[in-house]
């Protein structure tokens, strides 16, 4: 059960490990891209190529879907980047249902664990498999693997590494369940749990009054998607722009946070504790560009700033 590319890696690994996949459950086809053409999910596209039965329910409690799911006679369900399941679904198979989550549970329960780990400046994260119960990401832990978050990582690069690490962990989990050697460990309820709630538009707006490192982590934690944004104030106009990459440059100054400093090779933003060099951004109506491309046509007035 899964929808995006993150789930495809696990499905592919399960097949390559020799397990029989009797079906996939994925999201209904949806409009995507600029043309808003209806597109199948990444999991559906993979399943079609490998001639695997596909279920695309809109309602996971619908009796016709539940009958079809029972008819697959699956003895284990594997969930990767899917929806919250009703009890009648996750209790159905003989060996239960387990989920792959992209954090070291119990930390970062929720929809966006990769983004929030970087936004919060973590240096370590990982992947967890756990048996699903009736709450979100709270079930008994089966296995975990750790992964370092590198200073140069953004959400995209960390996503790709955790996708592969997660696929390995899913196969290891399937093997242990098949061998009957799994003992799920209840999650410890600890203080200072950090949530990974869904990211909204306002979450992505840059606060230039925050500390430089926090701004840098927000931008890399949202890159390439959904992307941090801010307003460019220039020549009396206010336009939203997206920022995809930055580099911290420490140094003292008395400039107002958000003030732009431009030369032939760089664009810097004044912040608390120094400057942020902008490496990649997207202007309104334009594609995402490296700063060297942007500077060729960027005309900033002396009061230009980000807000």
Residue 34, pLDDT above cutoff 90 = no
Give me the pLDDT at residue 48, please: 97
Residue 33, pLDDT above cutoff 80 = no
84-93, Cβ contacts within 8 angstroms, sequence gap of 24 or more: 84/136, 85/1, 85/60, 85/132, 86/60, 86/61, 87/134, 88/61, 89/60, 90/132, 90/133
The CA-based angle 43-44-46, given to 5 degrees, is 65
Extract the tokens encoding 293.
Answer: 């491309």
Question: What is the C-alpha to C-alpha distance for residues 161 and 151, in angstroms, rounded to an integer?
Answer: 14
DSSP strands (E only) in the chain: 24-25, 30-32, 37-39, 54-55, 77-80, 97-101, 124-131, 141-148, 228-234, 237-250, 260-262, 267-271, 274-282, 289-290, 305-306
N-term to C-term CA, the chain: 42
Mean pLDDT of 173-191: 93
Q: Are 274 and 257 in contact (CB under 8 A)?
A: no
Give me the pLDDT at residue 143, please: 98
User: In this predicted structure, which of 52-61, 143-152, 209-218, 260-269 has the lowest mean pLDDT?
Assistant: 260-269
More confident residue, 252 or 60: 60
Residue in the block written with tokens 């009736």: 134
Residue 31, pLDDT above cutoff 90 = no
Contacts of residue 79, defined as CB under 8 A and 6 or more positions apart, other chains included, come to: 1, 2, 85, 97, 98, 99, 100, 132
Extract the tokens encoding 206.
Answer: 């840059």
Contacts of residue 303, defined as CB under 8 A and 6 or more positions apart, other chains included, come to: 233
Q: Helix %, strand %, coil % for the chain, to 5?
A: 30, 25, 45
Residue 186, pLDDT above cutoff 90 = yes
Contacts of residue 125, defined as CB under 8 A and 6 or more positions apart, other chains included, come to: 102, 103, 104, 108, 113, 114, 117, 146, 147, 149, 158, 162
The DSSP call for residue 191 is S
Average pLDDT of the chain to the nearest whole number: 95
Give me the pLDDT at residue 79, please: 98
Contacts of residue 39, defined as CB under 8 A and 6 or more positions apart, other chains included, come to: 29, 30, 31, 32, 33
Could you give the domains of the chain?
5-179 (3.40.50.170), 201-306 (3.10.25.10)
The DSSP call for residue 198 is P
For 180, left (φ over 0), alpha (ψ -120 to 50), or beta? left
Sort strands 97-101 and 124-131 into parallel, antiparallel or unpaired.
antiparallel
HSE-up of residue 186 (Cα within 13 Å, Cβ side): 3
Mean pLDDT of 8-21: 98
The DSSP call for residue 256 is P
Q: List pLDDT tens digits, range 75-108.
A: 999 999 999 999 999 999 999 999 999 999 999 9
Question: What is the C-alpha to C-alpha distance for residues 265 and 295, in angstroms, rounded to an integer?
Answer: 8
Give me the pLDDT at residue 190, please: 87
Sort strands 260-262 and 267-271 into parallel, antiparallel or unpaired.
antiparallel
Give me the pLDDT at residue 290, please: 94
Give me the pLDDT at residue 295, please: 86
Give me the pLDDT at residue 36, please: 81
Give me the pLDDT at residue 129, please: 98
Residue 298, pLDDT above cutoff 90 = no
Residue 249, pLDDT above cutoff 80 = yes
Give me the pLDDT at residue 261, please: 93
Q: List pLDDT tens digits, range 45-75.
A: 999 999 999 999 999 999 999 999 999 999 9
Residue 152, pLDDT above cutoff 90 = yes
Question: What is the C-alpha to C-alpha distance for residues 141 and 154, in angstroms, rounded to an integer?
Answer: 27
């Amino acid at each position: 059960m899964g929808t995006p590319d993150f789930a495809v890696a696990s499905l592919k690994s399960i097949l390559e490990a020799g397990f029989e996949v009797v079906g996939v459950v994925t999201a209904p086809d949806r409009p995507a891209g600029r043309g808003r053409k209806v597109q199948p999910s990444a999991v559906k596209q993979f399943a079609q190529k490998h001639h695997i039965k596909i279920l695309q329910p809109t309602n996971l409690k619908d009796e016709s879907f539940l009958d079809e799911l029972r008819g697959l006679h699956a003895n284990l369900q594997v969930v990767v980047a899917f929806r919250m399941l009703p009890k009648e679904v996750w209790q159905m198979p003989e060996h239960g249902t387990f989920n792959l989550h992209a954090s070291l549970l119990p930390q970062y329960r929720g929809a966006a664990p990769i983004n929030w780990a970087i936004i919060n400046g973590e240096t370590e994260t990982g992947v967890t498999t756990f048996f699903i119960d009736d709450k979100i990401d709270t079930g008994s832990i089966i296995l975990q693997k750790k992964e370092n978050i590198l200073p140069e990582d953004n959400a995209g690069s960390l996503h790709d590494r955790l996708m592969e690490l997660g696929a390995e962990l899913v196969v290891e989990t399937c093997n242990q369940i098949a061998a009957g050697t799994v003992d799920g460990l209840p999650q410890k309820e600890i203080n200072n749990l950090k949530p990974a709630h869904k990211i909204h538009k306002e979450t992505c707006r840059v606060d230039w009054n925050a500390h430089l490192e926090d701004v840098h982590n927000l931008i890399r934690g949202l890159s390439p998607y959904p992307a941090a944004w801010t307003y460019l104030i220039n020549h009396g106009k206010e336009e939203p722009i997206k920022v995809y990459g930055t580099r911290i440059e420490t140094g003292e100054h008395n400039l107002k946070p958000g003030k732009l400093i431009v030369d032939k090779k760089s664009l810097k933003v004044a912040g608390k504790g120094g400057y942020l060099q902008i490496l990649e951004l997207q202007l309104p109506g334009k594609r995402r560009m490296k700063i060297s491309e942007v500077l060729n046509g960027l005309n900033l007035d002396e009061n230009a700033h980000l807000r």
